[in-house]
Amino acid sequence: MSTEPLPVPDLTVPPPGLPRFPREISLCITGRCNLKCRYCFYADEMAARNDLPTERWLALFAELGRLGVQRVCLSGGEAFTRKDLFELIDGIIAGKMRYSMLTNGTLINRDTLAAFAVGKRRLRLDSIQVSIDGSRADIHDQSRPPKSFDRALAGLRLLREAGFPVTVRVTVNRANLDDLPNIARLLLEDVGLPSFSTNEAETMGSARCYGDSMVLTPAERRRAMEILADLNKKYDGRISANAGPLALARHFAEIEESIARGERSRPGRGKLCACGGVFGKMAILHDGTIVPCDMLPNLTMGVVGLHSLGEAWRSSPAINAVRYRRDIPLSSLPSCRGCAYVGFCTGGCPASVMARYGKLNVRDPLVCYRIFKGEEPADAV
Amino acid sequence: MSEKTYRANEVVSCVDEGEDGAMLYNPDKDDTVLLNPSGRSIWALLSAPRTLDEIARHLTTAYPDVTLEQARQDAEKFIQSLVPHFVTASPDEH
């Protein structure tokens, strides 16, 4: 038998240094939502799956606490559509964990605030993020129908005035591109938030149906980068982004600065290493499916109640395939061969390429500096 | 007056980290601390109220080369590093 190393990693073996279990877990506690957002990555086939019942979630929270999870992020669907939401939150508290929430904000009212005041629900809440996509109803409601702007803004104001740790996410799309300065004014000046974060609509979930009206064209993305970079200067860095046009503007600016200094690469770049999330987090969907990330719903690692969570975390090929991307040099990919910028690149989000191409080990053209510079056609894969 | 006793704060979770010891987490304070294996063995003792002398005697049993006086000093230093987020004192000293 050959002793030559295999050309592929053993995906049942985790990479060295992996924690025994993640400290954070994303939990999509429901597939139901009262809105029909036109770029929701969690829509599409996800709505056909059933929600886990209350007792299953409570048993899961107890197990997560025993395994050393310190914080969970609750999303959906819309978390506030669950009638047992506060029972679930109390289960998280009993499991000795903290929590954060992602919400469309439309179901938050004074009764909701009163419910948060019970026990340690407020003490253990790290943050509650409301999605706002426009400064006016006619803009916000284009991406987040039906008619949600007034209720979302009312929910946001209630949380802010009551001193909750509220944050806002703006998802940049074709409908709100020109409204970004007004959105910044609304959130930072009128509502008085210390900051807000941005991302962009991508071709996944319901955007597969509505993509033409939602997903930015390359020219619009370039404009969004300029607008957000200017706004961030105006507001002293109070706009943040881990992905999307503002993050991309920062990334490309760093590349240009490195090139100006005569550098040919940067530490930790040059491989498909963009996603660090899978080394410290995983996600559980509303039907109990364990996945590396809620944006990778088809990479099944196991099912709650059927499979060991610890085993899934360490030994599932589905998550290890994402982790071992970081060992793949970009220069080995046909799309990146000969690129002068691979030494600065990380290849982009695995969920984006999975949604677009059904493959993990390809680069994301949205984050490609060579395409941005016009040195490669924008439709190149 | 009765001697002060110490016990694990009931809100704190303890997760075994193998050879590294154990991780304590207080979710109310969002505070963590990593215990080495001897710290982990003291933590196990604190499921019930203990005096510093009781903890020191436990240490001298586990480490026979350590004197009772030294063990008491080590126990006090260890406990004080965990009060109040991870260990509660009775009567309360905070």
Mutate to test the interface with B, among A70, A89, A121, A309 (most CBs of B within 10 A): A70
Check pLDDT > 90 for residue A73: yes
Average of pLDDT values for A107-131?
Answer: 98
Report the gap between the CA of A150 and the closest CA in chain B (Å).
34
Chain B hits for A21, CB-CB cut-off 8 Å, are 15
Residues of B in Cβ contact (< 8 Å) with A70? 25, 27, 30, 32
Per-residue confidence band for A209, with pLDDT thresholds at 50, 70 and 90: confident
Contact A20 B18 (CB under 8 A): yes
Query: Cα angle at B86 between B82 and B91, to 5 degrees?
Result: 80
Q: Do A96 and B27 touch (CB under 8 A)?
A: yes
Span A12-31, average pLDDT: 96
Mention every residue, 6+ apart, whose C-beta is less than 8 A from residue A112.
A80, A158
Q: Does B28 touch chain A (CB under 8 A)?
A: yes
Looking at the predicted structure, is the pLDDT value of residue A381 above 50? Answer: no
Q: Is the pLDDT of residue A30 over 70?
A: yes
Minimum-distance CB partner of B25 among A93, A96, A120? A96
Nearest Cα residue in chain B from A71: B27
Give B32's contacts in chain A (Cβ within 8 Å).
Answer: 70
Q: Which of B 29-68 lie inside 8 A of A, CB atoms?
A: 30, 32
DSSP secondary structure string, A161-189? HTT--EEEEEEE-TTTGGGHHHHHIIIII
Question: If you ran DSSP here, which 8-state letter would residue A76 be given?
Answer: S
Q: Measuring CA to CA, which residue among A263, A192, A259, A180 is closest to residue A220?
A: A180
Sign of CA dihedral B62, B67, B72, B73: negative
CB contact under 8 A, B11 and A96: yes
In the predicted model, what is the mean pLDDT of chain A? 94
Interval A269-288 mean pLDDT: 95
Q: How many CB pairs under 8 A join A and B?
A: 29
The reply to whether residue A68 touches residue B11, judged by beta carbons under 8 angstroms, is no
Q: What are the residue ranges in chain B where pLDDT is below 50?
A: none
Nearest-CA residue of chain A relative to B14?
A: A68
Token pair 């001193």 is found at A163
CA distance A98 to chain B (A): 6
Which band of pLDDT confidence, cut at 50, 70 and 90, is reported for residue A49?
confident
B19 close to A (CB below 8 A):
no
Asked if pLDDT for residue A34 goes beyond 60, the answer is: yes
Kindly report the nearest CA distance between residue B19 and chain A, in angstroms. Answer: 12
Integer CA distances (angstroms), B73 to A170, A188, B22, B94, in order: 55, 53, 22, 21
Confidence of residue A372 (pLDDT cuts 50, 70, 90): very high
Nearest chain B Cα distance for residue A58, angstroms:
17
Task: Give the C-alpha separation, A52 to A253, whole Å.
Answer: 45
| Selected residues 30-89 of chain A with any CB under 8 Å from a CB in chain B | 65-68, 70
Class of residue A228 by CB neighbours under 10 A (exposed 0-12, middle 13-18, buried 19+) = buried
Interchain proximity A68–B15, CB inside 8 Å: yes
Least confident segment among A14-28, A40-54, A94-108, A151-165: A40-54
